[in-house]
């Protein structure tokens, strides 16, 4: 609790349970994230080389030319609200609990809050 200061952390929406929209299912668009549920996609750089986001060593994320491997195929998981790789079903993660500029993939065990 804190004194009233009109910050976003003190503002709430009321949504009645019988009016709450259902979560999108496989193949449907998640409007909040702009991704289709469980639909495979590639992440391609807009730089001139148009390289693909890839996974090496089952953990580290790099950019490479297209190679047709599962390590370059990604999908949106509605349950955890995360982007996962088809390589080993792990999710985007910032190294060192977000205290790094480096990305990796890691096991996701819960939803984002």
Looking at residue 110, what is its pLDDT?
Answer: 57
- Condensed to tens digits (0 to 9), the pLDDT of residues 12-37 reads 888 898 998 899 999 999 999 999 99
Tokens encoding 88: 């080993």
- Condensed to tens digits (0 to 9), the pLDDT of residues 62-74 reads 999 999 999 999 9
Residue 102 has pLDDT above 50, yes or no: yes
Three-state DSSP state, 37: strand
Phi-psi map region of 96: left, alpha, beta (phi>0 left; psi -120 to 50 alpha): left
CA distance 22 to 25: 9
What is the set of domains in the chain, with CATH numbers? Answer: 36-106 (2.80.10.50)
Please list, in sequence order, all residues whose beta carbon lies within 8 angstroms of the beta carbon of residue 6, skipping any fewer than 6 positions away. none
Three-state DSSP state, 71: helix
CA distance 110 to 113: 9
Residue 46 has pLDDT above 90, yes or no: yes
Three-state DSSP state, 72: helix
């Amino acid at each position: 609790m804190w004194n009233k200061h009109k910050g976003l952390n003190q503002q709430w929406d009321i949504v009645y349970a019988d009016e709450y929209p259902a979560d999108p299912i496989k193949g449907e668009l998640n409007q909040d994230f702009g991704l289709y549920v469980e639909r495979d996609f590639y992440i391609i750089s807009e730089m001139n080389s148009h390289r693909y986001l890839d996974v090496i060593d089952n953990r580290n994320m790099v950019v490479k030319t297209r190679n047709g491997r599962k390590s370059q195929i990604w999908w949106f998981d509605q349950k955890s609200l995360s982007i996962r790789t088809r390589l080993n079903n792990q999710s985007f993660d910032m190294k060192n609990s977000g205290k790094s500029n480096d990305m990796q993939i890691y096991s996701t065990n819960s939803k984002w809050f």
